């Protein structure tokens, strides 16, 4: 019997269950557990089990949804900030081109745009030995869109409306 359990379990989580089963089946352990069980009344054990199940079934989903919402809001805020920074850089390029066209000095436009004296999107104290992060895929939960749609029923400020718009857009590129 023991050999059959070991073959079926194959070193996975079933092996742990098999080990617990074998330990509980041992006569001395079984008698000790039986004696300990007689100390508690069934209605008290039942009450503890029901309360713990209610706690687990009500609190864990709240924690999970909070984590998903928190991560989503942080990611959407970061994406919105990146889009705003991109718009600032585009505006900067347009302003530089306009300024040099007014001076009739279009030969300096490309050099001025490449200068980084008035750009603050590059890190100042960035170690050169640090590797650049490789492109990663967006970490988007499948619950993000339904949560954002459910949140549309509640009032929000301008930032909340922008974040909800980004979360409910199909591509994640809403502006």
Tell me the average pLDDT across 133-158.
Answer: 74
Mean pLDDT of 102-131: 75
Confidence of residue 108 (pLDDT cuts 50, 70, 90): confident
Mean confidence (pLDDT) of the chain:
78
Q: Is the pTM of this model over 0.85?
A: no
Would you state the structure tokens that stand for residue 11, as one six-digit string? 């070193």
pLDDT of residue 101: 84
Mean pLDDT of 82-101: 87
Question: What pLDDT was estimated at residue 171?
Answer: 57
- pLDDT at residue 162, as a whole number: 76
DSSP line for 27-61: HHHHHHHHHHHTTS-HHHHHHHHHHHHHHHHHHHH
The pLDDT of residue 168 is above 80 = no
pLDDT greater than 80 at residue 91: yes
The pLDDT of residue 124 is 65
pLDDT of the residue at 53: 93
Please state the separation of Cα 149 from the chain's center in Å. 18
Six-digit token pair at 61?
């989903």
Q: Is the pLDDT of residue 175 over 50?
A: no
* pLDDT beyond 60 at 174: no
Nearest to 84, CA basis, from 121, 124, 115: 121
Q: What pLDDT, on the 0 to 100 scale, is given for residue 52?
A: 93
pLDDT at 1: 63
Here the tokens at position 30 are 């079984």
Of 95, 96, 94, the closest CA to residue 108 belongs to 96
pLDDT digits (tens, 9 = 90+) for 44-64: 889 999 999 998 899 888 888
Higher confidence at residue 76 or residue 28? 28
Cβ atoms 9, 15 nearer than 8 A: yes
Higher pLDDT, 167 or 31: 31
């Amino acid at each position: 019997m023991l050999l059959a359990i070991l073959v079926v379990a194959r070193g996975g989580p079933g092996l742990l269950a098999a080990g617990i089963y074998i330990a509980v089946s041992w006569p001395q352990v079984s008698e000790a557990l039986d004696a300990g069980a007689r100390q508690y009344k069934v209605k008290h054990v039942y009450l503890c089990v029901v309360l713990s199940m209610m706690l687990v079934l009500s609190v864990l989903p709240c924690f999970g949804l909070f984590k998903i919402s928190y991560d989503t809001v942080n990611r959407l805020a970061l994406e919105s900030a990146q889009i705003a920074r991109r718009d600032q850089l585009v505006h900067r390029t347009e302003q530089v081109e306009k300024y040099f066209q007014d001076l009739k000095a279009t030969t300096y436009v490309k050099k001025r745009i490449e200068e980084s004296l008035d750009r603050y999107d590059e890190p100042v104290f960035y170690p050169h030995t640090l590797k650049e992060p490789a492109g990663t895929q967006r970490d988007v939960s499948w619950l993000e869109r339904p949560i954002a749609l459910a949140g549309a029923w509640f009032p929000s400020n301008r930032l909340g409306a922008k974040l909800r718009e980004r979360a409910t857009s199909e591509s994640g590129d809403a502006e």
